[in-house]
A = this chain, B = another copy of it.
């Protein structure tokens, strides 16, 4: 059996992985106890993804199968490995995860503004001009201006996290006693920040830090074992 391959975004330091969408799949593969290896991809390495018919990570290659888009990859893993622990558990569990996906992605722009200038510092030299140009066009401002009011953005982000904070005060994970894909979706957002920026997007005293720690500890501290921002320089 050929090992599953996950094409994964990397910083200048090849061990440093920070795509929120790829992190969903790292965790999904650990959840399903599937052995895999990652293929590091930088922003300007798009030619290495051409075989997938598009240009974005994550891409998963499993034998003859090539799948892109993190949600579709999760669906593929569920269907291809029905005996492995389920990411969704039930149609309602999948619906829950789907709403969490929409909700989380509605928060991504705030996280992006807080960390984007730091991401620029972490990525490979050859990626920097592409990154600055494409992101500044999307933001309508410079990376420096986007990050300038990040303490204020953090206040808004902290308020917007209230539904998550309440949910994980009631149960250990968004999915109950055990984590599921809904947890990995939100955790991907936190790993994006943790692995690319020294700026804390939540304060240390935020009760959400308890959930984040729980996620970092999963699978023998798998996510915690990756380099955080600055270690690669």
**Chain A interface (Cβ < 8 Å from any Cβ of B):** 89-93, 95-96, 98-100, 102-103, 106, 159-160, 162-164, 166-167, 170-171, 174-176
Contact = CB atoms under 8 A, between A and B. Distances in A.
A112 to B, nearest CB: 15
B100 A99 contact: yes
Interface centre among A89, A100, A103, A176 (most CB of B within 10 A): A103
A164 B103 CA distance: 8
Contact of A174 (B99, B166, B170): B99
B163 A95 contact: no
B162 A98 contact: no
A168 to B, nearest CB: 10
Contacts of A106: 159-160, 162-163
Stoichiometry, as copies per complex, reads 2
A31 to B, nearest CB: 16
28 contacts: A89-B92, A90-B92, A90-B93, A91-B176, A92-B92, A92-B96, A92-B175, A93-B95, A95-B171, A95-B174, A95-B175, A95-B176, A96-B96, A96-B99, A98-B167, A99-B99, A99-B100, A99-B163, A99-B167, A99-B174, A102-B163, A102-B164, A102-B166, A102-B167, A103-B163, A106-B159, A106-B160, A106-B163
Main secondary structure of the interface of A (DSSP, over half): helix
Given A92-B176, A98-B170, A99-B100, 6 more contacts: A90-B92, A90-B93, A95-B171, A99-B174, A102-B163, A102-B167
Ordered nearest first, which 9 A-B pairs have the shortest CB separation? Answer: A92-B93, A102-B163, A96-B96, A92-B92, A103-B163, A102-B166, A90-B92, A106-B162, A99-B167
Nearest to A180: B92
Interface centre among A90, A96, A159, A174 (most CB of B within 10 A): A96
Contacts of A175: 92, 95
Contacts of A163: 99, 102-103, 106
A101 to B, nearest CB: 8
